[in-house]
């Protein structure tokens, strides 16, 4: 288990298209552990493997952590391997998104409000479920990472360039 550095824009690795995991092994599970450690350490709710430089179609997420003040240590980590999503509605849901690879930048992105989700869990079992609300937004944001797309790619060119300039400035100051 290890906390790994999270890549930030404009790192070209973030534009890579990740490949399917051919077999879910102990190595995959070790990657998942590192991803969760890195996500929690950075106070994130989701992370794709490419964000720590690994071009495999693996996503981790925890939408419950820190949500309930009476249970600050409650964690509900989830893993999605080789996910496929299909929109189930034309309705678009707006959400003020952020990303650990674009620190301190938030902007509204509209995505399908409800999706069908197919993936393998960390034991390699196939799962099919439906997602809506924050879950739908988050899984689509993370899916984009697997295809080399960032949430700022959904914004205007001006906003995207401003976001990258801002991250460069923050990184220089760090």
Q: Which positions lie near Ni ion, rule CB under 5 A?
A: 99
Smallest gap from residue 7 Cβ to Ni ion (A):
11
Smallest gap from residue 23 Cβ to Ni ion (A):
26
Backbone angles phi, psi at 88, to 5 degrees: -110, 0
β-sheet bridge partners, residue 96: 108
Q: Which residue is nearest to Ni ion (CB)?
A: 99
37's CB contacts (< 8 A; 6+ apart) are: 1, 2, 3, 4
Backbone CA torsion sign across 42, 171, 137, 1? negative
**Catalytic (active site) residue 142:** yes
Smallest gap from residue 25 Cβ to Ni ion (A):
25
Q: How far apart are CA 23 and CA 133, in angstroms?
A: 31
Give the strand pairing for 58-61 and 92-97. Answer: unpaired
Active-site annotation holder among 33, 130, 142, 161:
142
Between residues 117 and 139, which has the closer beta carbon with respect to Ni ion?
A: 139
Q: Looking at the annotation, which residues are catalytic?
A: 142
């Amino acid at each position: 288990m290890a906390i790994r550095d999270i890549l930030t824009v404009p790192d070209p690795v973030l534009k890579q298209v990740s490949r399917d995991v051919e077999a879910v092994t102990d190595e995959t599970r070790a990657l998942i552990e590192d991803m969760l450690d890195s996500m929690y350490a950075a106070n994130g709710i989701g992370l794709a493997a490419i964000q720590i430089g690994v071009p495999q179609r693996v996503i981790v997420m925890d939408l419950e952590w820190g949500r309930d003040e009476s249970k600050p240590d409650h964690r509900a980590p989830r893993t999605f391997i080789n996910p496929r999503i299909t929109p189930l509605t034309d309705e678009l849901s707006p959400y003020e998104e952020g990303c650990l690879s674009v620190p301190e930048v938030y902007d509204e992105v509209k995505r399908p409000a409800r999706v069908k989700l197919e993936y393998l869990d960390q034991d390699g079992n196939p799962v099919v479920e439906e997602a809506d609300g924050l879950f739908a937004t988050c899984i689509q944001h993370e899916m984009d990472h697997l295809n080399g797309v960032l949430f700022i790619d959904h914004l205007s060119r001006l906003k995207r360039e401003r976001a990258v300039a801002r991250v460069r400035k923050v990184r220089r100051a760090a």
